[in-house]
Structure formats: structure tokens, C-alpha cells
Amino acid sequence: MFEMQNMTVRFSIGEALRGVSLRIAPGDRLGIVGESGSGKSMLAACLMGMVPDAATIDGTLTIDGTNMTHASEAKWQTIRARRAAMIFQEPMSALNPLRRVGDTVAEPIYVHMGLNKAQARDRVLGLFEEVGIPDPASRFRMFPHELSGGQRQRVLIALALACDPQLLIADEPTTALDANIALKITDLLVHLSQSRNMALVFISHDLSAVARATTDITVMYGGDFVERGVTAEVLSNPMHPYTQGLLAARPSPRAVSRDANGSRRRLPTIPGTVPPLHKMARGCRFAGRCALERGECASVRPLPFGPRRITCHAVSEEMT
Amino acid sequence: MTLFQARGLTRQYRLPKTHILRPAPVLTAVNNVSFDIHAGQTLGVVGESGSGKSTLARLAMAFEAPNEGQILFEDHDIHALGAGKLRQLRPAFQMIFQDPFSSLDPRRKVGWSIAEPLRAMQSSAGTRVNEAFEQVGLHAADAGKYPHEFSGGQRQRIAIARAIITRPKLLIADEAVSALDVSVQAQILNLLMDLQDTLGIGILFISHDLAVVASICDSLLVMQHGKALEYGPATDILNNPSHAYTKSLLLAAGDRV
């Protein structure tokens, strides 16, 4: 239903996405991981038709067979809310503090579904129930500041579900939440995807949340897809050096912080930081930070290789 | 001598009145909490939002006074000291804040910002700014740049440089790595360990993420609703949690691949 072919998003300083291809079918649960600046949010913006005007787009995006690559804003407004909806990271700032949360959730229902006030209210109460908000009738009249962070995130999920989208994009939905609440929100998103046969794109740098929420995973770096596959397989046996680095850097709650000699155990890290777009290597984007880097890496772009479509010269040579 | 001792700390806040004739309700943010921090060691504080972690940090920094209990920093009761004495003691305990984007003045060069604690002490910066930059893995030349020229991880390094510029004996880090990517988080945690090993400073490390706390702390304090649920050596608590809440935090953090 959502199909992206060879999508490139180019700004004057460089490419934010470099020829990525993606298919999303109903009920799919896809995780997108990578550091800040790896292009995760730009991918989401592409799927929602929210690429900034300053960018030029190459490639094709089709939604249910309709080519949406260069679609007008008016056309996109028929897609958003009903075909694709999005929830954002910060539940504090995504809600209007001066409006009752019930009215906020009812708005897309008026606009897109043409229901009257009483029907919209019933629908909002049903949505609140579905996302696990207790006592929906009294929550309907509350203002955002009267709700906890977890409840606000549930309101935003209800808002995204208001017009029964086929695809829900969750951009860092659990990052701002406490660990226990984050687990509940993650489980709720999985449950909603299953019960509604709705596709879920779960963008996060929290690998444990992605492991819990998704069946498939795509690792991004510098606007490239560097490794893809079944979530459990990729996370238990990462093959691209970037995926390996990301997984190793994650601290373990069972870690003993000093070894037998009393000296501290350091965490493995990926050296350096994600460079800005205009300083990215022309070849493999990960060149300059990679332990396996060789001569051609910085200048020759590696082609996707093997079932995981890994883009790495060293790994693909080792495998052949 | 123990570097830092908190004894029976209680901090209450008065909430807005709900009724004109009734007394205002009271929120007990921190309820009878005690702990020690030794030089060269890290105490991790973990708990959900609203558990009193940040109140603890403000009490430890003497930004506000406890209703009951006391804090001894090298045997000085910091809440009983006069303002002048406290000011003299302040260079010895410094804080690293959560958000590296809002804790640096965007219109000042970072070298100016990190020398601020020295100006407050009325001592001259001299080579100390360059030294602090190098200690946190940046170049001395970076002092002439503005905050927007740095990435999130580099800004957190700058915030750490500002905290160590007075050569403190205790660092208080409140969610210091929570806003960072996993890989950058690991770099900053390693930097804190390096600084601790070379400078022998004690660290009070506050986070909602048990995995992050476990990787750096020697002892651990688990807080919920202002109370200390568990306190002791980190390995004991992590391997053998006695409280259901600690187990749920471990589960939340341990559900990793």
C-alpha cells in the first residue's frame, strides 16, 4: 500500500535521504533506528508529504497505487489522518494547552469525516477507551496540564487514530517517558496495530523499545539504509559495523561497574559523531567512524548485499 | 572522612490551597532519605518522574534547604553555613544539567560560558579554560566557538568542562546523558569514568534509566514517591533486588537484546 522507490531528498548542503526503497503493507510493524541526523525523521516526513519546500525529491512514492511523489498539498490533505497519521515525541508540546483534549481529538473527525458534534464526541470517547484512558467522559473535558505524560501520549495516539489511518508513524513515541510507562505505550501501539490491521512505523533510537514493538527493522545512517531484516535476527546477530556499534554501546542493567582489579569497565563506543550533511563521505556514509574501513570506503558507495541488504564493502567481501 | 553525607533528608512543598478554610495540602517530595558518597565513587539515584530525584539534587547543591535532616559536605553542614561561607565552599561541588541545548548561553562563546564559575569565585581563568577543554576531549581552540557550532554530545562535554573547571570534589549529574543518542551516551559515560579515575571526584548520578545508572555507579539508591526503597552496593541490588518496584525497573531496562 505504501511503496517508496529509490527516494532521494536533496538539500543544498547534501542529501538527507539517498535512494531508499521501502514497502509497507497493512499490519506490518517496521522499526527505524539510527542516531540523530541519520535521516529517520526525514523518512517519516516523506511518508506524510511533509518534506520541507527547500528540498528536491527524486524517486517515487505510491500510496495504494496513486503516485504521490510530487502531489499537491490539497492532495496530501486527503491522505493525512485517513491513510497515514503520525504521533510525535513530545507529549507536552504537541497538545494545545488552551483546548480541552476531547475537542482536540474531535477536530480531525469534524474535518475529515464530517460527523456532527454528538457523533464526534461518541467517537472520541470510544477512542479514549481503545487507547486505555480511564474514565473517558471526564478526561474529555480536561486540559493537557491536568494529565500525566503517559496519559497525554495516549491522547495523542487517540488523535492519530481519529480517522482510522492505515499507517501510523510513531516518531520517538517513548523517549520522553519513564521506563515503565514507555513499556505500556509500546505494548499499546503493538496491540492497536494488531487489532486494527494497521501498519506501524516505529522510529526510535531506543533499541529495546524497537525490539518490543516491531517485527522488521531498518537501520539508518546518513540517509542510507545500512541493514534490514527481521528485528529479532538483526538485533541478536548484527552484521553491519554500525548496527554492531549501536548495540554494543547500549549499557546493560546487570553490568558490574568495576572489574576484579577495581578499575572501571568502559562502554564500547562508536568513535566520533554523526557529521553534518555537507561533511558526509561520498561513498559509505559511515566512513571515518568505522573500524572496518578500507581504501575505497570513503569514495565508492557500497551496494546493498545479501538478504539483509547490508551496505558495507568489508562485510559483503567477507560473505562472498 | 566521608565526602558527602545526607542524613534523614525531608523536603516538603506546600501545594496551592484547595479550599479557603482548609490548610494547604503538603507534598512530601523527599521523605527521610540518607546516603553517603565517598571520594572517587559514584552513587546512582534511579526512579520515575515525581520520585524526588531532582529535589534531591537541588538539596545536595544547596539550592534549597530541607525541612528536616542535614547534608554534610566534608563535615560542613551546607545548609547551616552562612551565605558567604557557602559561596566559598561551592567550587567544591558542581552540577551538570540535563539539557545541553538550553544550559549554554547561545550569544556567548563557550569559552566565556565555561569560565563563568571562575569569575564567580573571583579567580582568574588563565590556562584553566584550555585545560578543562582538553580534559573533556575537546580542543582548546573550541573555546572561541558558539554553542550552535557543536553537536549535542559536544555540548554536554562543554557542560562537563564548566562543572570541572573549579576542580570540584563532587559532581552532581541530573539526567546528564538522557537527552543523548545511545552511542554518544556511552562516550559521555566513559568520559565521566575517566574524569573520576584521574581526578578522584565523587559523583551523584541521577537518571530514570537503570541500565545507564548500572553502568557507572558503585552504590545505588532506588526512589519512589520520595522514599528510598533500596540503598546499598549496586551489584547487590542489581543481582538481588528486594523490592518489587526495583524488579519492575530491572525488567523495563533489562528487556534488551
CA pair distance A56, A61, nearest whole angstrom: 14
Q: Give the ranges where chain A is alpha helix by DSSP (H).
A: 40-47, 73-79, 101-108, 117-130, 136-140, 149-161, 179-196, 207-213, 231-236, 241-249, 313-319
Number of Cα atoms under 13 Å in the Cβ half of residue A142: 17
pLDDT of residue B77: 92
Spatial CB neighbours of A99, under 8 Å, sequence gap ≥ 6:
A143
Chain A CB contacts of B250 under 8 Å are 253
CB B10 within 8 A of CB B32: yes
User: What's the domain count of chain B?
Assistant: 1
Window 220-279 of A: residues touching B by CB (8 A cutoff) are 232, 235-236, 245-247, 249-258, 263-270, 273-274
Q: For residue B140, how many other CB atoms are within 10 A of its CB?
A: 14
What range does the domain containing B187 cover?
4-99+174-254
Number of Cα atoms under 13 Å in the Cβ half of residue A265: 17
> If you average pLDDT over residues A127-156, what whole number do you get?
92
pLDDT of residue A199: 96
Measured between CA atoms, the residue of chain B closest to residue A268 is: B186
Question: If we measure between CA atoms, which residue out of B38, B46, B43, B94 comes closest to residue B204?
Answer: B43
* Least confident window among A76-90, A127-141, A191-205, B58-72: A76-90
Closest partner residue to B238 (CB to CB) among A183, A253, A263 is A253
Domain ranges for chain A: 94-164
Sign of CA dihedral A101, A102, A103, A108: positive
CB B147 within 8 A of CB B104: yes
Closest partner residue to B252 (CB to CB) among A180, A263, A267 is A180
Window 36-65 of A: residues touching B by CB (8 A cutoff) are 36
Chain B CB contacts of A288 under 8 Å are none
Q: For residue A88, how many other CB atoms are within 10 A of its CB?
A: 18
| CB proximity B199 to A under 8 Å | no
**φ, ψ for residue A206 (rounded to 5)?**
-90, 100
Q: Is the pLDDT of residue B90 over 60?
A: yes
Query: Does the distance separating the beta carbons of A207 and B252 come in below 8 Å?
Result: no
> If you average pLDDT over residues B88-106, what whole number do you get?
87
Measured between CA atoms, the residue of chain A closest to residue B239 is: A254
pLDDT, tens digit, 9 for 90 and up, residues A48-104: 999 988 999 999 999 998 999 888 999 998 888 889 999 987 777 889 999 999 999
Question: If we measure between CA atoms, which residue out of A94, A254, A245, A8 comes closest to residue B210?
Answer: A254
What is the 8-class DSSP label of residue B166?
T
Chain B CB contacts of A182 under 8 Å are 252
User: Cell for A119?
Assistant: 457523533
Q: How far is B181 from chain A (nearest CA, A)?
A: 6
> If you average pLDDT over residues B153-159, what whole number do you get?
89
Tally of residues, chain B: 257
Spatial CB neighbours of A225, under 8 Å, sequence gap ≥ 6:
A20, A22, A218, A219, A304, A309, A311
Q: Is the pLDDT of residue A194 over 80?
A: yes
| CB proximity B98 to A under 8 Å | no
CB B161 within 8 A of CB B138: yes
CB neighbour burial string for B179-209, b if at least 16 within 10 angstroms, e if fewer = bbbbbbbbbbbbbbbebbeeeebbbbbbbbb
In a domain, residue B115? The reply is no
In a domain, residue B163? The reply is no
Q: What is the mean pLDDT of chain B?
A: 89
In the sheet that holds A199-203, the strands lie side by side as: A84-87, A167-171, A199-203, A29-33, A216-221, A224-230
CA pair distance B179, B182, nearest whole angstrom: 10
Q: Is the pLDDT of residue B254 over 70?
A: no
Q: Is the pLDDT of residue B255 over 70?
A: no
> If you average pLDDT over residues B62-72, what whole number do you get?
93
Is the ipTM of this structure higher than 0.90? no
Q: What is the mean pLDDT of chain A?
A: 90
Closest partner residue to A180 (CB to CB) among B48, B151, B217 is B48
Q: Give me the total of CB pairs closer than 8 Å, taking one residue from chain A and one from chain B.
A: 114
* Least confident window among A63-77, A294-308, B47-61, B112-126: B112-126
Query: Does the distance separating the beta carbons of B257 and A236 come in below 8 Å?
Result: yes
| CB proximity B208 to A under 8 Å | yes
Closest partner residue to B257 (CB to CB) among A35, A207, A257 is A207
SS3 B44: strand
In a domain, residue B109? The reply is no
* Least confident window among A110-114, A204-208, B100-104: B100-104
| CB proximity B203 to A under 8 Å | no
**φ, ψ for residue B222 (rounded to 5)?**
-100, 125
- What CATH number does residue B92 fall under? 3.40.50.300
pLDDT, tens digit, 9 for 90 and up, residues B205-225: 999 888 899 889 999 999 999
Per-residue confidence band for A256, with pLDDT thresholds at 50, 70 and 90: low
